């Protein structure tokens, strides 16, 4: 993930030789966290990743003093958290957990306004902030403000949890497996939506996950932790993939490092393939002529707003008359420009298609992304001197490249 483009609104976070030992009197007892030191710049996402029991959540909870360190210091903007009032400290830190923890007998708007209410904000300002944040996380305030948590899906509740954590505009957010309780499709949507929000908000975020793929996708910096709370490596995702600091990190990251590196690139970084498009009602003969000049043997039918309706095979385009949406077959996956190349590749392979349709926020067509384009980026990555050639070989053995090259032939009757 690229760093936020605008000036950060977050705060720096420093761990200085932080340890947590639950039985401090038992000599030789391993600690939950041992001598943890790292620096998170303002406005960046730092992901703590590692196996269960490695001290990720303990480290997170020491930031807002839900757990007190046994030794060392945690600094926020250079100030030791140990010297701050606990209540004041926590109200300046957003906290999102896997199970969300919404208050069941409060409306969604009341849940979002929890911290502003505790801070004594006027009621009108609380309502305004709750509605602003619901809209920000993609929930229509008119539909959701007066609902209760039991009336929401898991993904919707998670969005409310993020909105609540943002309510008092904290410089720091702590997120403990925030998307772990939802299904993979919803999880991907939530990840993408949160990364979109972060481009604008530029908070400092400490994010806990056990999933290395999520860590690579979400993090500007990644802290790989070992059992016993030992920090094995702290670096940007690209460096961890290119140069694992230890055998443990290499095993944890996995053999398919070249494929994982596609999580660091987004569809917006590719030169999209133009799509030959026509609108419902356009002259069939003209659409047939234009489509015949393009190597891709399909015409993309769109509505008046350039939103895709479906594909028409060249041979199925009438030689006269007007185009009708009944001619169109089912669609390729719709992909936005922020989608990682890894997710885009997965969508294409799952749908068994050769091209995905890239759309903007309104759903209008921007162009096409093909499996061949992503395969080429893989080859470029494998050619990087920092990466071993075995990465591409591993992907090929796994069948990914074979599937991509097989997809270069259009399927019939439509690319679905």
CATH assignment of the domain containing 203: 3.40.50.300
Question: Is position 391 within any domain?
Answer: yes
Do 187 and 310 belong to one domain?
no
- Residues 56 and 165 reside in one and the same domain: yes
What angle, 0 to 180 degrees and rounded to 10, lies between the N-to-C axes of helices 154-166 and 184-201?
Answer: 20
Residue 121: count of CB within 10 angstroms of its CB: 17
State how far the Cα of 288 lies from the Cα of 316, in Å rounded to an integer: 9
Domain shared by 31 and 117, yes or no: yes
Q: Are residues 278 and 250 in the same domain?
A: no
- Do 289 and 169 share a structural domain? no
Domain co-membership, 216 together with 192: yes
The answer to whether residues 65 and 36 touch, using CB atoms and an 8 Å cutoff, is: no
pTM exceeds 0.85, yes or no: no
Same domain, 219 and 279: no
Mean pLDDT of residues grouped by 10 in the chain (416 residues)? 48 95 60 91 95 92 95 96 93 83 90 90 93 89 91 88 88 89 78 84 92 90 93 93 91 78 84 92 92 90 92 91 88 86 86 89 90 81 46 41 35 40
Residue 6 in any domain: the answer is no
Residues 210 and 275 in one domain: no
78 and 150 co-located in one domain: yes
Considering the domain boundaries, does residue 413 fall inside one?
no
Tokens of 192: 């993408």
* 281 is a domain residue: yes
Shared domain for 89 and 213, answered yes or no, is: yes
**What is the predicted pLDDT for the residue at 234?**
97
In a domain, 203, yes or no: yes
Residue 273 and residue 248 share a domain = no
What span, in angstroms and rounded, lies between the C-alpha atoms of 21 and 202? Answer: 33
Identify whether the C-beta of residue 130 lies closer than 8 Å to the C-beta of residue 145.
yes
Residue numbers of the domain that contains 294: 268-406
The pLDDT of residue 389 is 39
Q: Does the residue 156 lie in any domain? A: yes
pLDDT for position 25: 53
Neighbours of 321 (CB within 10 A): 9
Same domain, 328 and 194: no
Query: Pick from 254, 285, 316: which residue ends a domain?
Result: 254
Please list, in sequence order, all residues whose beta carbon lies within 8 angstroms of the beta carbon of residue 136, skipping any fewer than 6 positions away.
163, 166, 197
Q: For the domain that residue 303 is a member of, what is the CATH number?
A: 3.10.580.10
Distances (CA, A) of 141 to 90, 138, 196, 200, 363: 27, 9, 19, 20, 22
- Residue 96: inside a domain: yes
Tally of structural domains, the chain: 2
- Specify if 3 maps to a domain: no
């Amino acid at each position: 993930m690229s760093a936020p483009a605008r000036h950060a609104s977050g705060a720096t976070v420093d761990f200085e030789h932080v340890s947590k030992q639950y039985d401090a009197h038992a000599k030789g007892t391993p600690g939950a966290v041992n001598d943890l030191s790292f620096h998170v710049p303002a406005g960046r996402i730092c992901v703590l990743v590692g196996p269960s029991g490695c001290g990720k959540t303990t480290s997170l909870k020491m930031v807002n003093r839900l757990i007190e360190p046994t030794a060392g210091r945690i600094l926020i903007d250079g100030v030791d958290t140990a010297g701050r009032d606990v209540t004041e400290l926590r109200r300046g830190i957003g906290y999102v957990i896997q199970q969300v923890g919404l208050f069941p007998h409060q409306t969604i708007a009341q849940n979002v306004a929890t911290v502003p209410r505790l801070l004594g904000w006027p009621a009108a300002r609380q309502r305004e902030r709750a509605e602003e944040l619901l809209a920000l996380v993609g929930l229509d305030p008119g539909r959701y403000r007066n609902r209760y948590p039991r009336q929401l899906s898991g993904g919707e509740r998670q969005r409310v949890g993020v909105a609540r954590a943002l309510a008092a505009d904290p410089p720091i957010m702590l997120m403990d497996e925030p998307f772990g309780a939802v299904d993979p499709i919803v999880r991907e949507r939530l990840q993408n939506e949160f990364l979109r929000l972060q481009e604008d908000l530029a908070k400092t975020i400490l994010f806990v996950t056990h999933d290395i793929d999520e860590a690579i996708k979400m993090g500007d910096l990644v802290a790989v932790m070992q059992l016993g709370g030992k920090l094995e490596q702290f670096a940007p995702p690209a460096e961890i993939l290119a140069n694992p600091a230890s055998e443990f990190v290499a095993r944890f990251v996995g053999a398919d490092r070249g494929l994982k590196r596609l999580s660091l690139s987004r569809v917006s970084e590719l030169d999209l393939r133009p799509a030959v498009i026509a609108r419902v009602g356009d002259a069939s003969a003209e659409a047939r002529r234009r489509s015949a000049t393009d190597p891709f043997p399909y015409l993309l039918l769109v509505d008046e707003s350039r939103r895709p309706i479906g594909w028409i095979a060249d041979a199925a385009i009438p030689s006269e008359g007007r185009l009708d949406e009944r001619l169109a077959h089912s669609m390729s996956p719709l992909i936005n420009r922020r989608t990682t190349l890894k997710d885009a590749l997965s969508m294409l392979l799952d749908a068994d298609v050769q091209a995905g349709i890239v759309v903007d926020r309104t759903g209008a067509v921007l162009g096409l992304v093909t499996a061949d384009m992503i395969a080429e980026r893989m080859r470029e990555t494998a050619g990087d001197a920092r990466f071993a050639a075995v990465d591409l070989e591993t992907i090929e053995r796994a069948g990914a490249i074979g599937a991509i090259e097989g997809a270069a032939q259009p399927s019939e009757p439509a690319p679905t």
